[in-house]
Amino acid sequence: MNKRLIVKSILWAFASVGLVVAWARFSMGLGATTALTDDTPWGLWIAFDVMGGVALAAGGFVIAAAVYIFHLEKYSPILRPAVLTAFLGYTAVVIGLLFDLGLPWRIWHATIFWQHHSVLFEVAWCVMLYLTVLALEFAPVALEHPYLQWPILQRIHKLLKWLTVPLVITGIMLSTLHQSSLGSLFLIMPYRLHALWYTPIIPALFFVSAVGLGLMMVTLEAFASSWLFHHKIKTDLLAGLAKAASIVLYIYLAIRFVDLAVHSKLGYLFEGSWQSALFLFEISISALIPAVLLSFSKIRHRLDALFACSLMVVFGMVLNRLNVGIIAIEKSPGNVYFPTWMEISISLAIVSGAALVYIFCAENFRLFTDEKEEKKSIEKRQFEQPVFDAPSKVWLGDSLVQNISVFSIIVVSVISITAAMLPSKAISGYERDPVPVRKAVGWETIKIDGNRTGEFVLFNHKEHEQRLEKIHGEREGCLACHHASIPQDGPTGCYECHSDMHLSSNIFDHEFHQKALQGNQSCTQCHAEGQSKSRESSIACTECHQSMFQKIDTGKADYYIARSYMNAMHDLCIPCHQEQSQILGDENIPKCAFCHVHPPQTNEDRMQKKNVDAFPFSIQNGEN
């Protein structure tokens, strides 16, 4: 078994694991497959797949600029592999983003709903456009295949070759914009991102580091292609890339340390914390050591040294993106994020899928233009009909069928094993831990903090009561919120039915009713005769308790199920606030920060700031 088959078998295995986990993620959600929380909403998929993937793909625009803009034609043999790597890298970024988005089917919204003040809006458009540009840049390579020599396709090929320079210029501009803009995402985190990584010029650092990383990634890719496809390494070309990378890395080091000095942060380097040790390790392997080594011509022309330096830069710069995106961000006490094996498997699967496509293109297209015999071998390569030696039943033709059989066995086996390893929550769905709700404190002004986390809302009950009484009358005003009451009770507190912060609650006590209605003889009083005794066959609670349920939305409510406390509060308050927003012309009223104020404010404080006399609440017919 040759090494290429072994490599592809390993890649197919990783891809198969990711296929199973992808099903779990998209069917059961993020909570069932990841370690993400409200405190850590960004994890491995953003830091590695998106931020790291974009940086790793920077070699495409760097080499394209060298060949087409600066006319360094000697680097044209590595142009096509660099463009393909960039195209696959950006495709992997988009796929990784789909996994991370809570609503991935809305990824297209950025094309319709424009937000000019958002950095993510600019990143989204640049990535979409640059991915299109890369596809057009690589399309001529695919159109050179012998099976695609159709007249119309050749005209498209000629047009794309003519558009090469404008496409390259467009790609350079787009890549420059979003490489730096990814760093701009962290400008709003001066108190969460550690001082050694936070800086107002982080966009510039992201761009410069991406250029150096791109040059070394192309070098590392050349070593991998040489090992897999037995191509001769062009030492002079790689030495030239290494020299340019050394200069870029020195610039990166200068910018970073001058910035630390200007902002009086050099002292953090020697504070003895794990952050300072991590920073020194990162800066050493990503820039300092490679920049020094690659300054010497003898080292640049040694293949083992080139390989080691390129590996250090790639690992170090990816570590930088992980540090900025995850590790160096301050977490709340007790919250430690470490990706689940399912998150890691998705990242490995995306990388493996991109590698498999790269190998396929290398085997079937004229990717390495410096090989004189490459075109001839591509033209001769045909998918022949199966050829067997009948007496011995030995396969004599191309190894395609044999390889497919091997890969099929690997895929089926790995999928079965991975499915068996999935945790229960990835199969049946993520279940929240119960969070019992406690009674709100106060009367005229109520402190609503159901789960006692300290993130409370001050609700002026007396003012709401008075306003709603004026609109609906004394009794109807109370029923606008207290739409149900337990037997022998007046207005019932929300927490008595909506008893869990995030989970729905069953408010029907079957055993209590059974005893109160004389045991099994009571069945026919609640369930229709001749039907199975189930919730569907039972009568409504209001049939007996006419004074218990007063105002309830029978169109969508299940009499036996009370929504979670949080949803009940939001469903009751938000529609009214939206109505008042239109009446008062204040778009802030329906926003979260209007009620969830830190530090909390009373309603009088809000009204004084808004310079209005009162808040004329109105709920039509007492319905939420």
| Rounded Cα gap, residues 603 and 256, in angstroms | 48
| Rounded Cα gap, residues 112 and 412, in angstroms | 41
* Average pLDDT, integer, range 396-416: 75
Q: pLDDT of 124-183, one tens digit each? A: 999 999 999 999 999 998 888 888 888 888 899 899 989 989 999 998 899 888 888 888
Percent of the chain at pLDDT exceeding 90: 38
Residues 179 and 148 in one domain: yes
Q: Which of left, alpha, beta for 63 (phi over 0: left; psi -120 to 50: alpha)? A: alpha
Q: Is the pLDDT of residue 404 over 80?
A: no
What pLDDT shows up at residue 607?
47
The region of weakest confidence among 98-107, 358-367, 550-559 is: 550-559
Number of domains in the chain: 3
Is residue 477 domain-resident?
yes
Which tokens sit at 521? Answer: 């003889």
What pLDDT shows up at residue 558?
57
Is residue 587 domain-resident?
yes
| Rounded Cα gap, residues 559 and 204, in angstroms | 59
What pLDDT shows up at residue 392?
61
What pLDDT shows up at residue 569?
87
What pLDDT shows up at residue 612?
37
E strand intervals along 411-479? 445-448, 457-460
DSSP tag of 156? H
Q: pLDDT of 266-280, one tens digit each? A: 999 998 999 999 999
Confidence of residue 388 (pLDDT cuts 50, 70, 90): low
Please tell me the number of Cα atoms within 13 Å of 268 on its side-chain side: 18
* CA angle, residues 436, 439, 441, in degrees to nearest 5: 140
Residues 288 and 161 in one domain: yes
What pLDDT shows up at residue 492?
80
Residues 280 and 414 in one domain: no
Residues 203 and 312 in one domain: yes
Pick the closest to residue 371 from 230, 240, 161 (CA basis). Answer: 230
What pLDDT shows up at residue 610?
42
Is residue 87 domain-resident?
yes
Residue bearing the bigger pLDDT, 21 or 542: 21
377, with CB counted inside 10 A (0-12, 13-18, 19+), is exposed
Q: pLDDT of 298-334, one tens digit each? A: 999 999 999 999 999 999 999 999 999 999 998 777 7
* Average pLDDT, integer, range 562-571: 87
Residue with tokens 């091997």: 406
Residue bearing the bigger pLDDT, 610 or 259: 259
| Rounded Cα gap, residues 238 and 329, in angstroms | 36
Residues 465 and 588 in one domain: yes
What pLDDT shows up at residue 234?
86
Q: Is the pLDDT of residue 339 over 90?
A: yes
| Rounded Cα gap, residues 50 and 29, in angstroms | 19
Alpha carbon of 587 to those of 33, 117, 429, 571, 620: distances in Å?
37, 18, 37, 18, 21
What pLDDT shows up at residue 601?
52
Q: Is the pLDDT of residue 297 over 60?
A: yes
Q: Is the pLDDT of residue 545 over 50?
A: yes
Q: Is the pLDDT of residue 550 over 60?
A: no
Is residue 435 domain-resident?
no
What pLDDT shows up at residue 395?
52
Kindly give, in sequence order, each residue whose CB lies less than 8 Å from that of residue 136, ignoring residues fewer than 6 positions away.
160, 163, 167
Alpha carbon of 271 to those of 145, 175, 274, 277, 285: distances in Å?
59, 37, 9, 9, 20
Asked if residue 451 lies in contact with residue 495, where contact means CB atoms within 8 angstroms, the answer is: no
Residue bearing the bigger pLDDT, 479 or 49: 49
Residue bearing the bigger pLDDT, 480 or 85: 85
Residue bearing the bigger pLDDT, 586 or 132: 132
Q: Is the pLDDT of residue 391 over 60?
A: yes
The region of weakest confidence among 324-338, 446-460, 538-552 is: 538-552
CB contact burial 412-445 (16+ within 10 A = b; e otherwise): eebbeebeeebeeebeeeeeeeebebeebeeeee
Is residue 244 domain-resident?
yes
E strand intervals along 286-438? 388-389, 394-395
Q: Alpha-carbon torsion 364, 365, 368, 372, what sign?
A: positive
Residues 335 and 346 in one domain: no
Which tokens sit at 491? Answer: 């207005």
Is residue 520 domain-resident?
no
Average pLDDT, the chain: 83
Residues 324 and 368 in one domain: no
* Average pLDDT, integer, range 62-78: 89
Residues 421 and 467 in one domain: no
Q: Is the pLDDT of residue 604 over 60?
A: no
DSSP tag of 540? P
* Average pLDDT, integer, range 572-597: 82
Residues 225 and 271 in one domain: yes
CATH code at position 171: 1.20.1630.10
Confidence of residue 378 (pLDDT cuts 50, 70, 90): very low
Q: Is the pLDDT of residue 372 over 80?
A: no
Please give the residue range of the domain that contains residue 15: 7-36+340-384+398-426
Residues 52 and 195 in one domain: yes
Residues 617 and 570 in one domain: yes
Q: In the listed set 324, 339, 354, which residue is the last one of a domain according to the structure?
A: 339
The region of weakest confidence among 7-16, 84-93, 347-356, 566-575 is: 566-575
What pLDDT shows up at residue 379?
45
Confidence of residue 548 (pLDDT cuts 50, 70, 90): low
| Rounded Cα gap, residues 297 and 72, in angstroms | 20
- The highest-confidence range among 137-151, 452-466, 475-489, 505-519, by mean pLDDT, is 137-151
What pLDDT shows up at residue 219?
93
Is residue 390 domain-resident?
no
Is residue 307 domain-resident?
yes
What pLDDT shows up at residue 623?
30
Q: pLDDT of 6-50, one tens digit each? A: 899 999 999 999 999 999 999 988 888 999 887 788 899 999 999
| Rounded Cα gap, residues 605 and 611, in angstroms | 10
Residues 247 and 235 in one domain: yes
